[in-house]
Amino acid sequence: MQQGHNIGFVGTRFAGTDGVSLEASKWANVLWDHRHTSYWFAGKLNTNPEVSMLEPHAYFGHPDIQWINDRIFGRVNRDKEVTHRIYALSEHLKRSLYDFVQRFEIEVLVVQNALCIPMNVPLGLAITTFIAETNFPTIAHHHDFYWERDRFSVNAIGDFLRMAFPPDLPSIQHATINSAAQRDFSHRCGASSILVPNVLDFEKPPVGIDDYNADFRQQLGFEPDDIVFLQPTRIVPRKGIEHAIALVAALKNSKCKLVITHESGDEGDEYKNALTEIAEHQGVDLRFLSDRIKELRSEADGVKSYDLADAYAHADFITYPSIYEGFGNALLEAFYYRKPVLVNRYSIFVTDIEPKGFEVITMNGYLTRDVVERVRKVISDPVYREQIVDNNYELGKAFFSYAVLRRKLRALITHYTGADNL
């Protein structure tokens, strides 16, 4: 039997329900199944402390990192004090990486998004310099590139972006999450990458309604016959949630309720307030339930909190009218939990998901009468609904399952180990 290896995951945070944390956890699960042991280095962690190194300056929300970000984006010149602090913090973080690798006898690094989007410039420089000095075997998993985000288009760090976001070093294998990113990366950086899509464990069907979540609707103030439209995303403008409100309004059914599961995050409440006004104007029952739908189930003082799986179990329809997505985890979740879904045809859906044959209700930037009628048919025809969600589940298992990730990771890991032990 082949011996497993020590894999070191490096990023800004591994905590919460953001896409990077979730995908990193899935990678670790697949690696663990094959006796590889995962260790964690980040500025925010909810991993086991025995296999983790917490370095506060690795988190993009650290005040020192925020101070830098405030002075390098939205402008084209950089003060020398900013440069000094970037290099100083980079040296500090590089020393921490050396300590991490030595303490846990790391054999392969897996860098999660820290070498493609400059949320933490000192961390990206530290990782790049560490790899350059050691020729360390590294898999760089890229979820978001800086050129995909308008907020980074005007900046004073062109030199650092060319050096480290991402770096071109011989010991790094690059992994991208969609075909457009793969093409752009090759065009801009002159390097190749392996396409590793986001996945879910389709081999293990969801639990569904159980003893804990059976009272979900009652606890959260829904009637048994309410039709729950679930928007399982953060409240940010690119999610296009106003389209979900318009859909529910167009159905003209007082039993239809729209639920948003996540918070606004670090982008403020302006969009949330606008959605509240839109819903009131259109007579839509809109509910923000992030205070009751958490990362984990819990109960305190008689008040139960549920996880996202519980919300999916009780949902009747999923709205996903995003304008842009790096991949679309919530869409995979809709397939996994066997729920019908409305999708705004964002670019990655068009190129990487739609051609697989999934049956979803699509819109092209705006609602039409036909879209509304198709939604009405799905929620009123259980036989038709069961047919399409079962088909989507089987396609998800074929194209976006752990089996797919296992094959991809086998190629990446054995590139360094030389043994087919995954």
Task: Give the model confidence (pLDDT) of 309-336 as tens digits.
Answer: 999 999 999 999 999 888 888 999 999 9
Taking a C-beta distance cutoff of 8 angstroms, is the pair 168, 190 a contact? yes
**Rounded CA separation 185/168 (Å):** 11
Task: Give the model confidence (pLDDT) of 174-189 as tens digits.
Answer: 999 999 999 999 999 9
Q: Report the chain's C-alpha Rg in angstroms.
A: 22
| Closest to 319 (Cα-Cα) out of 348, 293, 341, 345 | 341
Which pair of structure tokens corresponds to residue 65?
């990192």
Number of neighbours of residue 417 by Cβ within 10 angstroms? 17
| Closest to 249 (Cα-Cα) out of 214, 284, 206 | 284
Share the mean pLDDT of the chain: 94
| Closest to 50 (Cα-Cα) out of 38, 59, 36, 58 | 38
Instruction: Judge whether residue 267 has pLDDT over 90.
Output: no
Model pTM? 0.87
pLDDT for the residue 248: 98
Q: Which domains does the chain have, with CATH numbers?
A: 6-199+402-417 (3.40.50.2000), 213-399 (3.40.50.2000)
pLDDT for the residue 1: 37
CB-side neighbour CA atoms (13 Å) of 391 = 12
pLDDT for the residue 282: 97
| Closest to 324 (Cα-Cα) out of 262, 197, 238, 241 | 238
